[in-house]
Structure 1
Amino acid sequence: MGKRGEVFRITGARSSLSEDVRGRQRRYVISMLVRTLCVLLAVVLWDVQRYLAFAALAGGVLLPYFAVLIANAGRERAPGLPSTFAVPADTPLMLGPGGTGGGGDRGAA
């Protein structure tokens, strides 16, 4: 059986900056394509169905604002990672001699 070229994300690390920028650009281009379709639809429907033409024109006017908001939404947060790590009070924070806990307690040997 040959290896498959799958890569699994095992950490909560964010996506790379280049992936983030590429995703933002893709969302913006898609939004602008929808805007262009709205304007074209408004032109085509102007003499046929005036209310739909106005609705399409409103979409064409308002969509750039929302496209910029969506594109500049910011990088996602790392999924599922706590902001701080809680350490129980009874846990020693450093190892003592011989790998025992307590920073100096040698224990009863």
Structure 2
Amino acid sequence: MSEPVPSITSAHVPLAVDQARRTRSYLIQMAIRVVCIIGAVLVDGWVRWALVAAAVVLPYSAVLIANSGRDQVTHDTSPVTPAAVPALTELPDVDASPERPGPAAPGAGRVIDHVDD
């Protein structure tokens, strides 16, 4: 007996096939635009303006549709949990000694464990 063939249903469409599909879609929309331009020359009234509007909008939509594809990236949208801040340690009071009581010098008791990221 032969082993079962692994499924590749989640594989992407080959690049050449995807490009051919997008090129075909773009060319069809541009052919419709040419028909709209020719129709706008031949008819009169509100239909002319509708065809002109379609001929103006079609290139934009054709490019958007032709460029959409193969960008199926999912992004992690979970909230970011901030990292815990390490506890700060204090310096001992260097100026306060038993023989000279009083306030410590400015800057005494500041953080000593500091690491720049």
**TM bracket (short chain):** 0.5 to 0.7
* TM-score normalized with structure 2 length: 0.53
Matched, 1:60 2:55: yes
Matched, 1:20 2:18: yes
Give, as a single letter, the amino acid of the residue that structure 2 aligns with 1:11: T
The structure with the larger Rg is: 2
- Note if contact 1:14-1:76 (Cα within 8 Å) is conserved in structure 2: no
Q: In percent, how many aligned pairs have the same letter?
A: 41
Q: State TM-score, norm by structure 1.
A: 0.57
Tell me the CA shift for residue 75 of structure 1. Answer: 1.4
Structure 2's unaligned 5+ residue stretches are 1-6, 76-117
Match of 2:33 in 1: 35
Larger % of helix: which? Answer: 1
Unaligned 5+ residue runs, structure 1? 1-8, 84-109
Q: Report the aligned-residue RMSD.
A: 2.2
The 4+ residue runs of structure 1 with deviation greater than 2 A are none
